[in-house]
Amino acid sequence: MRSRDGNRHFTRRLCPIILLLLFPLALSAGEYLISYKYIVKDATLYNEALFISHSMKKCSGLPQSDLLLYSNGESDLKKVIAQNSAEFLEYIHKLGLHVAYSDATTNLQNSSTTTLTLRTTCFKVDFNDTFVTIVPLK
């Protein structure tokens, strides 16, 4: 008579094979925290800062639309973003930036400051041979 878990040995042999196939996929995608600040003072670029760091703990959230950047085999995210800065800036503008504006007039001279900020956001980044896929988690 055959028991209910008669195929137990087959599944034990199959699980490590599946894990070996899927484990590299889990390792190739890393999580990064990215923030960006852009300050324009009196119609002149005053400061621009991009901060990138590895996430110290697992990020939670649902993946949003992805961005595909050409990496040319580079594995440093900051260098890849620097090479594709126009595409990345356009992408984060679509994600939504916080805008702060101040305007002051002193002695008939107008002074204005505009600050665009991408608050610290967790991104899942997958490095391939020639491309990097960046997906924000919200």
pLDDT in tens, 79-128: 999 999 999 999 999 988 999 999 999 998 999 999 999 999 999 999 98
Look at residue 2 and tell me if it is in a domain: no
pLDDT (tens digit per residue) in 26-77: 445 799 999 999 999 998 999 999 999 999 999 999 999 999 999 888 889 9
Look at residue 105 and tell me if it is in a domain: yes
Amino acid at 74: E
d(CA 79, CA 42): 30
Look at residue 17 and tell me if it is in a domain: no
Q: What is the pLDDT of residue 72?
A: 85
Look at residue 41 and tell me if it is in a domain: yes
Structural domains counted in the chain: 1
User: Tokens 């209910």 map to which residue?
Assistant: 4
pTM of the model: 0.71
Look at residue 16 and tell me if it is in a domain: no
The token pair at 57 is: 């703990």
More confident residue, 20 or 86: 86
How many CB atoms are located within 10 Å of the residue 15 CB? 10
Q: What is the pLDDT of residue 125?
A: 95
Look at residue 21 and tell me if it is in a domain: no
Domain that holds residue 115: 29-136
- Beta carbons of 134 and 66 less than 8 angstroms apart: yes
The token pair at 122 is: 């967790």
Look at residue 46 and tell me if it is in a domain: yes
